Structure 1
Amino acid sequence: MTQELPEIALEDKGSKGRYFLRAPDGAEAEMTFTKVGEHQIIIDHTEVPDAFRGQGAGLRLVTRAVEDARSAGKKIIPLCPFAAAQFRRHPEWADVLKG
């Protein structure tokens, strides 16, 4: 039985930030990023604890970053292996991928 995932929250701390999901038991799935100037972000880490495994939490976090980057006119550098793999699987994200 898969329960509905909580809403994605954004924590922005100047040059760094994260998107995260928090389970009722306090477990957090997160994707961290670093801002590079005004027009680029680096996705540097994605972590999904067992409480979120198999529910698409990691993909949801990366998708939210893509949507936010697109609406803000920013590019993404996916250094995190998970995020890089998602960019390879989603060619429709090419407009926000820093080439």
Structure 2
Amino acid sequence: MADIKKGDHKFYIGDDEQNPKAEITYKESGTNELNVDHTYVSDELRGEGIGGKLVEKMVSYARNEGKTIDPTCPYAKQKMEETPAYQDVLAE
């Protein structure tokens, strides 16, 4: 499994934060909310569950920071809504 790294308002996989092999990005929305706005997985990593791992990392980060997530990225939104364990950080 590839290493997920913390970048500037993102978590990513790869050696170059500006050109990652996979990433999930977010914006601060107020003081207690994160807006997940984009998820990307390169062709070479597709089918390995990387997108789900990135959402999982984002959820863990939000919990540690005491924040909720408002996912506007369609993939992240679906993944969070269908995963019962993520409901505690899903913004209403």
Q: Normalised by the size of structure 2, how large is the TM-score?
A: 0.89
Change (3 A) 1:94 1:28: same
Percent of aligned pairs with the same residue? 35
Quote how far apart the aligned CAs of 1:72 are. 1.3
Which string of whole-angstrom CA distances, capped at 9 and with x for unpartnered residues, describes residues 36-85 of structure 1? 12211000000111111111110000100101111211000010000011
Tell me the C-alpha RMSD between the 2 structures.
1.5
- Residue type of the partner of 1:9? K
Structure 2 portions without partners, runs of 5+:
none
Q: From the CA coordinates, give the structure whose radius of gyration is larger.
A: 1
Which string of whole-angstrom CA distances, capped at 9 and with x for unpartnered residues, describes residues 12-53 of structure 1? 2xxxx1110117xx7510111101122110000001111111
Q: Distance in 1 between matches of 2:47 and 2:91?
A: 29
Query: Which of structure 1's runs of 4+ aligned residues deviate more than 6 A?
Result: none
Map of 2:64 onto structure 1: 71
SS of equivalent to 2:75: helix
Q: Distance in 2 between matches of 1:35 and 1:72?
A: 12
Structure 1 portions without partners, runs of 5+:
none
Map of 1:18 onto structure 2: 10
Q: Normalised by the size of structure 1, how large is the TM-score?
A: 0.83
